[in-house]
Amino acid sequence: MEGILYKWTNYISGWQPRWFVLDGGTLSYYDSQEDAWKGCKGSIKISVCEIQVHSSDSTRVDLTIPGEQYFYLKAINAAERQKWLVALGTAKACLTDNRTKREKELQENTEALKTKMSELRLYCDLLLQQVNKIKDSDELGNATEVEIDTGNMVKSTCTTFLKTLEECMQIANRTFSADMATQSPPGSPPVAAIKPQKVKPVNQLNQNIGEKFSDIRLDDDNGIPTQEFLDSCYAIVPVLDKLGSTVFAPVKMDFVGNIKKIHQKLMSEPDSFPTLQSIVLHEIQTDVSQVRNSATEALLWLRRGLKFLKEFLSEVNRGEQDIQGALNNAYGKTLRQYHGWVVRGVFALALRAAPSYQSFTAALVSREGDELKTGFIRGIHRDLGMYLPAMERQLAILDGLYEEHNLESDEVV
């Protein structure tokens, strides 16, 4: 990269324009572009210098080799400085980089995510302004014209917002799905979507799902067996996989992440944690139940996710074929209250990728082609008729546990 930067000379001459060239990890400067042939007036090695931006001057960048050399520089404007910063940063990273490829990707994607998040924040502010404008124009009585204009703006801001959110999802996907693919989930049962298990034609639902929650046997104190519960939760994941949209990835990540956290707790002392209740009570006694990433917190969110699923499936079981509508209703009743605008946006995206009724029911079968058989939908309803009450019972027990120990939280994420 090359171009004009202002260089601090001294208190008499102040900032002077100079022609700078960044090449092969060295930044050199000349009196002017025309005078470059005369040779450079000075240079600094980027790999060993510190690059600092000024706290209040958005055009300034200081390059220093502590105790040795300094270049105090100013770009023509903030955008130009940004270009220089990227070029200098890249030169420095290339020359001093001994991170692994994965670490580099992670850092790059994290940076990209940060940028996208600030774009999202901007669109959100814009949306608020536009919505307020509509409200104001309503109050002033000159509604229609302004409303149509602003309405169009809102529409296009929403589209850009959702597109940016989608890009966020893709970056997050790139960044984190590699980890998910390589780490096998806790106590993972062979999953029907990947490896069909014993075939039992009477059961229309994916067997791992259809049977799991209703298979769980509670102990005499209504204790919910930890491993079986986690297996039942994990059995839901292949359905999300079959539905296949990348926008479900954050949902899967969150859901599987919580299963893992609880599983880790179980594995820390398998004999001490036969039931979910034993885990939660142990964390209460050891004063870690409210700690971030505790198993109790993971179970809180897993439970919320399951409640959402239960509401959604109940609507389907009542005959609702509008999958988007059913998801939306279930979301409103369960998760929405805990979500801020970013996560609500994630949900809006997931909603846009919601499958049709046919694709959704087809994703539930354990054997491909079963969805074409007579009585398939009847079978789904019959299986849901077993699955949902079992799930409901376990959720009610967990509700009681969280209520009794005051573990609920209304924190919004």
Ligand X SMILES: CCCCCCCCCCCCC/C=C/[C@@H](O)[C@H](CO[C@@H]1O[C@H](CO)[C@@H](O)[C@H](O)[C@H]1O)NC(=O)CCCCCCCCCCCCCCCCC
CA gap 8, 15 in Å, rounded: 4
Rounded to 5 degrees, what angle do the CA atoms 188, 273, 398 make?
Answer: 85
Is position 346 an interface residue for ligand X (rule: CB under 6 A)?
Answer: yes
CB of 167 to ligand X, least distance (A): 16
Q: Which is nearer to ligand X, 32 or 293 (CB)?
A: 293
Q: Which is nearer to ligand X, 45 or 405 (CB)?
A: 405
Is position 301 an interface residue for ligand X (rule: CB under 6 A)?
Answer: yes
Phi and psi, residue 275, nearest 5°: -125, 160
CB of 305 to ligand X, least distance (A): 3
Nearest residue to 387 (alpha-carbon basis) of 215, 177, 199, 142: 215
CB of 106 to ligand X, least distance (A): 19
CA gap 410, 296 in Å, rounded: 15
Stretch (H or E) spanning 116: helix 101-140
Enumerate the β-bridge partners of residue 52.
62
Binds ligand X by CB under 6 A, chosen from 93, 216, 343, 377: 343
CB of 265 to ligand X, least distance (A): 12
Interface positions, 45-84, toward ligand X (CB under 6 A): none
CA gap 29, 44 in Å, rounded: 9
CB of 296 to ligand X, least distance (A): 10
387-406 burial, b at 16+ Cβ within 10 Å, e below that, comes to bbebbebbbebbeebbeeee
Q: Which is nearer to ligand X, 77 or 110 (CB)?
A: 110
Binds ligand X by CB under 6 A, chosen from 19, 29, 84, 308: 308
CB of 313 to ligand X, least distance (A): 6
CA gap 344, 342 in Å, rounded: 5
Stretch (H or E) spanning 280: helix 276-285
Interface positions, 312-341, toward ligand X (CB under 6 A): 327, 335
Q: Residue for token digits 């994990």?
A: 234
Q: Which is nearer to ligand X, 19 or 273 (CB)?
A: 273
Strands 42-45 and 50-53: unpaired
From residue 118 to residue 147, what is the string marking binding to ligand X with x (rule CB under 6 A)?
Answer: ------------------------------
Q: Which is nearer to ligand X, 149 or 241 (CB)?
A: 241
Is position 304 an interface residue for ligand X (rule: CB under 6 A)?
Answer: yes
CB of 393 to ligand X, least distance (A): 16
Q: Tell me, what amino acid is at 42?
A: G
Interface positions, 156-175, toward ligand X (CB under 6 A): none
CA gap 326, 239 in Å, rounded: 17
Interface positions, 186-205, toward ligand X (CB under 6 A): 205
- Other Cβ atoms within 10 Å of 202 Cβ, number: 8
Q: Which is nearer to ligand X, 5 or 364 (CB)?
A: 364
User: Would you say 344 and 161 are in contact if contact means Cβ atoms under 8 Å apart?
Assistant: no
From residue 266 to residue 295, what is the string marking binding to ligand X with x (rule CB under 6 A)?
Answer: --------------------------xx--
CA gap 320, 377 in Å, rounded: 12
Q: Which is nearer to ligand X, 252 or 405 (CB)?
A: 252
CB of 114 to ligand X, least distance (A): 17
Judged by CB under 6 A, how many residues of this single chain contact ligand X?
31
DSSP 246: G
Using left for φ > 0, alpha for ψ between -120 and 50, and beta otherwise, residue 302 falls in: alpha
Interface positions, 205-264, toward ligand X (CB under 6 A): 205, 209, 236, 239-240, 243, 248, 250-251, 254-255, 257-258
CB of 341 to ligand X, least distance (A): 12
What residue number has its CB nearest to ligand X?
305
Enumerate the β-bridge partners of residue 72.
62
Largest separation between any pair of C-alpha atoms in the chain: 92
Q: Which is nearer to ligand X, 75 or 327 (CB)?
A: 327
CA gap 326, 343 in Å, rounded: 18
Residues making contact with ligand X (CB under 6 A)? 205, 209, 236, 239-240, 243, 248, 250-251, 254-255, 257-258, 292-293, 297-298, 301, 304-305, 308-309, 327, 335, 343, 346-347, 350, 354, 364, 413
